[in-house]
Amino acid sequence: MTLPQHLVPALDEVRVGDAVTVEGDEAHHAVVVRRLRVGERLLLADGRGRVATGEVAATAKRAFTVTVTAVDDQPEPRPSVTVVQALPKGDRGELAVEVLTEIGVARIVPWAATRSVAVWKGERAAKAHAKWQATAREAAKQARRSWHPEVLPLADTNEVAALVAGVDVAVVLHEDATEPLAALALPADGDLLVVVGPEGGLTDDEVSGFVAAGAVSVRLGAEVLRTSTAGVAAVAALLSRTPRWGGLTT
């Protein structure tokens, strides 16, 4: 069974034999909720590629100490995938963040699309963004990721177009597109971006603007997926054709 992972602020200077103390909410959940015990083995990750394996040496209510037995540095997965996720209604935003994190995306960008039902403004925007970040953090630990994803601030359509222009391959999921996602040529390395529209669908101006910025409008299949699941289906289809998942680029 894979060892449980806990997130720590930094592991830059940690070496085998060092003692690392984890404090705060992270430790409280491990000790009080998960009932962590002395002698248990676990993983510590900084979310930037370094993972330490260790054994619990001591516990308190809001702290535990780990003796490091191994340190591993993992390269950042390539190609890198960014998903621009239009704001869904209800808790479907957290669902989208959770599954996108589990599947290995590098960045998640919340997007205020024209037809988005949900609206992030003021204090609500700060709380919603924090919730997406917390969801990504917990999902990354559950998935034992060495590189944790970024959840960027809320973007408008012009900012999304700028992101599209800055990557190697960008796709816009659109039910009326004629080109299938499977026909897209992919690089073995580089940066990929997927734009997922809202429940109400993309506007013609949004699609044409992203295509003008360099994106390709594609369809996944005959079925119309929910906004909270379309992204993970598209990313899985892309990654299956890259060396990350043992596939071959075309």
Domains and CATH numbers, the chain: 5-73 (2.40.240.20), 80-245 (3.40.1280.10)
Kindly report, residue by residue over 208-224, the tens digit of the pLDDT: 999 999 999 999 888 88
Average pLDDT value for the chain: 93
At residue 230's C-alpha, the angle toward residues 117 and 114, to 5°, is 30
Query: Distance between CA atoms of 205 and 81, rounded to whole angstroms?
Result: 24
Confidence of residue 188 (pLDDT cuts 50, 70, 90): confident
Question: Can you spell out the DSSP letters for 114-180?
Answer: TT-S----HHHHHHHHHHHHHHHHHHHHHTT-SBPPEEPPPB-HHHHHHHHHTSSEEEEE-TT-SEE
Q: Quickly count: other Cβ atoms within 10 Å of residue 25's Cβ.
A: 8
pLDDT the model gives residue 20: 96
Alpha-carbon distance 136 to 100, whole Å?
8
In the chain, alpha helices (H): 25-28, 92-103, 122-142, 157-165, 204-212, 227-239
Rounded to an integer, the average pLDDT of 171-186 is: 90
Say if residue 247's pLDDT is above 70. no
In this predicted model, which residue has the larger pLDDT, 146 or 185?
Answer: 146
Bigger pLDDT: 2 vs 54: 54
With a pLDDT cut of 90, the percent of the chain lying above it is 80
State the pLDDT at residue 248. Answer: 60
- Over range 19-38, report the average pLDDT: 91
Is the pLDDT at 204 greater than 60? The verdict is yes
Whole-Å CA distances, 201 to 99, 167, 173, 174, 197: 21, 23, 10, 8, 6
Give the separation between CA 23 and CA 116, rounded to whole angstroms.
39
- Return the pLDDT at 225: 86
Strands across the sheet containing 216-219: 150-151, 107-111, 80-86, 191-196, 169-173, 216-219, 179-180
249 pLDDT more than 60: no
Per-residue confidence (pLDDT) for residue 37, from 0 to 100: 93
pLDDT in tens, 98-130: 999 999 999 999 999 999 988 999 898 999 999
The answer to whether residue 6 scores a pLDDT higher than 70 is yes
> What is the DSSP-derived secondary structure letter of residue 61?
T
Q: What band does 145 get if pLDDT is binned at 50, 70 and 90?
A: very high
Tens of pLDDT, residues 63-98: 999 999 999 999 999 999 999 999 998 889 999 999
pLDDT on residue 33: 86
